Chain A
Amino acid sequence: AQSVTQLGSHVSVSEGALVLLRCNYSSSVPPYLFWYVQYPNQGLQLLLKYTSAATLVKGINGFEAEFKKSETSFHLTKPSAHMSDAAEYFCAVRNTGGGNKLTFGTGTQLKVEL
């Protein structure tokens, strides 16, 4: 079965600093990986997804993630944090069983300080 682990339930950065949110996966087959963002009192919105076409994936709002098979990682980064990036971020992996199911990580709450 596929799973993802997000290290750090809370991350705090200063505005303008690098954002790094960690996600490690476990999968017996090449994984399909996703990052979603959830703003307060809203549903989840897709940031980016890895589907084996390229290891460096660019998403919306300046975020990107790099798939590293040797490290079983898919960390999310942004060079310069903005106050509007404050939200909860979820890493997810597609299950190989039928039905296009996703397994989500436990989430990382990003706080951006002045």
Chain B
Amino acid sequence: NAGVTQTPKFQVLKTGQSMTLQCAQDMNHNSMYWYRQDPGMGLRLIYYSASEGTTDKGEVPNGYNVSRLNKREFSLRLESAAPSQTSVYFCASSDRQFRVMRETQYFGPGTRLLVL
């Protein structure tokens, strides 16, 4: 049981290049999330998917797109990378419990992205 996996672990891009960050979970969770982590700012939600087939914007969605490919996979795409998107990106997943507020999010190891 690998939990939440992310690829790649590290990536360097030039301004204007595009790339897709991959995330997969093997816990049969319904909900998946993408966060970015910047020094002094904690984690901020980019996009989330409450269930397969649905996606919604989070706090900082500009410059990103997502795809919930199936229940296991949730990808994040940067169409035209900018230096402001240099960050560490975390994917997370959670399951739906009887009391939805009790859900715990499980995080992947992160992708470190540098945009030059």
Contacts and interface: CB of A to CB of B under 8 A. Distances in A.
Interface of A: 9, 32, 34, 36, 41-46, 49, 51, 90, 94, 98-107
A76 B93 CA distance: 24
Contacts of B56: 99
Contacts of B104: 34, 46, 49
Interface of B: 4, 31, 33, 40-45, 48, 50, 56, 58, 90, 92, 94, 99-110
B45 A100 contact: no
Contacts of B94: 100
30 contacts: A34-B104, A41-B110, A42-B109, A43-B4, A43-B109, A43-B110, A44-B90, A44-B92, A44-B107, A46-B104, A46-B105, A51-B101, A90-B42, A90-B43, A94-B101, A99-B31, A99-B50, A99-B56, A100-B48, A100-B50, A100-B100, A100-B101, A100-B105, A101-B45, A101-B48, A101-B58, A102-B43, A103-B45, A104-B42, A106-B40
Contacts of A99: 31, 48, 50, 56
Nearest to A90: B42
Contacts of B108: 43
Contacts of B4: 43
